[in-house]
Amino acid sequence: MNPDIIHLLIALGIGGLIGAEREYRSKSAGLRTMIMVSVSSCLFTILSIRIGLDSHDRIAANILTGLGFLGAGVIFKDENRISGITTATTIWMTAALGMAVGAGYAWLSIFATFIVMVVLIFLVYIQEWIEQRNQARAYRIVCQYKKKTLDQYEELFTTFDMKVIRSVQHKNSERISGRWILIGSAENHKKLTKYLLNDSNIQELSF
């Protein structure tokens, strides 16, 4: 069988393996996307070697430029955090693996794929363990304005072993609102939320 076809099939398998993991976790770039990234990177690299004449890296180098736009499309910011960075970097890595296969480094790309799967599958449990013990959440509290600030809540946060890394308060008409980003364990966040939900002075609460 033609070596180029074998390389494309290897790239297909690599993209399918990584894409299946992303699809299982319901990420924006899943099975088909990762397969297309891996196979297309492999094909572009093969063509770059075949028709590159004096500069074999000319076409392959442009793969990285195109991936910049693709990766940016899966990153988005919600109210509390930025999401999609892992998926964007996985797209980048999948393209690198496809390029390695296309350049003839099949075994190197297979070993690198093993490393990627370890990071995506097993390190997520370590990440979750860390987040249970130290995570950041945004809180918003709205109260009736009684000619005083909401600094008493910042004092309350410290009693729940929370670290305030950013805060802002805003008075609007008869109400005053405050926003805080707090860092603490998941259990302490749960206790704090329960306390705030039972606070009769709070008119609006988001967390």
Q: Is residue 188 part of a domain?
A: yes
For residue 143, the model assigns a pLDDT of: 93
11-46 pLDDT, tens per residue? 999 999 999 998 998 887 789 999 999 999 999 888
Mean pLDDT throughout 146-156?
Answer: 88
- Find the mean pLDDT for residues 71-83: 64
> Cβ of 93: how many Cβ atoms within 10 Å?
20
Residue 128 forms part of a structural domain: no
Query: Which carries the bigger pLDDT value, residue 37 or residue 70?
Result: 37
Please report, for residues 14, 70, 83, 89, 91, the alpha-carbon distance to residue 37 in angstroms, rounded to integers and kept in the order given: 10, 10, 20, 12, 7
**For residue 77, what are its two tokens?**
């910011």
| Residue 126 belongs to some domain of the structure | no
> Is there a single domain that holds both residue 45 and residue 106?
yes
**For residues 93-103, average pLDDT:** 92
67 and 14, same domain (yes or no): yes
> Do 116 and 14 share a structural domain?
yes
pLDDT digits (tens, 9 = 90+) for 176-200: 999 999 999 999 999 999 999 999 9
Same domain, 31 and 83: yes
Q: Are 168 and 153 in contact (CB under 8 A)?
A: no
> What is the CATH number for 177?
3.30.70.260
| Residue 147: pLDDT band with limits 50, 70, 90 | confident
**In whole angstroms, what is the distance from residue 195 CA to residue 159 CA?**
12
Q: Average of pLDDT values for 136-146?
A: 91
The first and second tokens of residue 50, run together, are 């075949």
With bands split at pLDDT 50, 70 and 90, how would you rate the model's confidence at 99? very high
Buried b (16+ CB within 10 A) or exposed e, 4-38: beebbebbbebbbbbbebbbeeebebbbebbbbbb
Strand order through the sheet with 202-206: 163-172, 175-184, 135-144, 202-206
Q: Do 24 and 104 sit in the same domain of this protein? A: yes
Residue 176 is which amino acid? Answer: I
The single-letter DSSP state of residue 168 is E
| Total number of domains constituting the chain | 2
Neighbours of 177 (CB within 10 A): 17
Show which of 121, 141, 174 is a domain's final residue.
121
Residues 73 and 154 in one domain: no
Q: Identify the domain containing residue 169 by its residue range.
A: 133-206
Q: In terms of Cα–Cα distance, which of 3, 5, 39 is closest to 19?
A: 39
Tokens of 57: 């890296």
Q: Are residues 85 and 47 in the same domain?
A: yes
| Whole-number pLDDT of residue 173 | 80
Distance CA 193, CA 205 (A): 9
- Give the residues across from 169 on adjacent strands: 178
